[in-house]
Amino acid sequence: MFILCKFWIFIIPTIWYLKVDNNIFSRSLPTIDGLKMGTITGVGMSIIIIITWLIFENSINLDEMKVILESQGLSNFYLYVFGMIYWIFINSLLEEYVFRWFITTKASILFGNDYYAIIFSAFLFTLHHAIALYFFGFIFWQIFIASFGLLTAAAIWSWLYLKYESIWVCWLSHAICDIVVFSIGFRVLFM
């Protein structure tokens, strides 16, 4: 089911782009300025993630979280590392493809306003992740705090996409944040 869902969120925007909009495949390579901004925002948000973790770490039921992660097979060192690589390098790129490239650009056309498009895309991205956080054992107030961070990050990534017109810029920022998140997860499970 997981693979089917990932395939679906990749194929729908692709079909729309090629068949509904009658476009051809294109590449939008990042500029040096874009890569710099992706790095700066990724590192900046990662620092906030680390500080937030240090402040709230003791409020999280880590034993319950470990049980949930174990039920998904993620307590296996090799599976965790494989999953970490997948989420950092593939899933985050897929999310940028869907939420930034497709949803943000289509929402900009629909609303006639980049600001509303950024908010709309960021809201959908946050909702998607808030549901996942719930299933990983986070409680309401923790999900609320995380959602504020997710909404902010998603808005920054949408802004990066609209400014630099390349998913590689927002993907770089996103991947840097994912490295920190999965490093925290690694610490919880294996240290």
Does some domain include residue 18?
Answer: no
Indicate whether 52 belongs to any domain: yes
Q: Tens digits of per-residue pLDDT, 54-79? A: 999 998 888 888 888 888 788 899 99
Count of domains observed in the chain = 1
167 found inside a domain: yes
pLDDT at 14: 84
Contacts 24+ apart (CB under 8 A), 125-129: 125/95, 125/99, 125/150, 125/151, 125/154, 126/150, 126/151, 126/154
pLDDT band at 1 (very low <50, low <70, confident <90, very high): low
Does residue 64 fall inside a structural domain? yes
- pTM above threshold 0.75: yes
Q: Is position 6 within any domain?
A: no
> Which structural domain, as residue segments, surrounds residue 105?
31-190
**Does residue 84 lie within any of the structural domains?**
yes
Q: Residues of the chain with pLDDT > 70: what percent?
A: 99
Residue 87's contacts (CB-CB under 8 Å, 6 or more residues apart) are 178, 182
Q: In this predicted structure, what is the pLDDT of residue 4?
A: 76
End-to-end CA distance of the chain: 31
In a domain, 142, yes or no: yes
Whether 150 is covered by a domain: the verdict is: yes
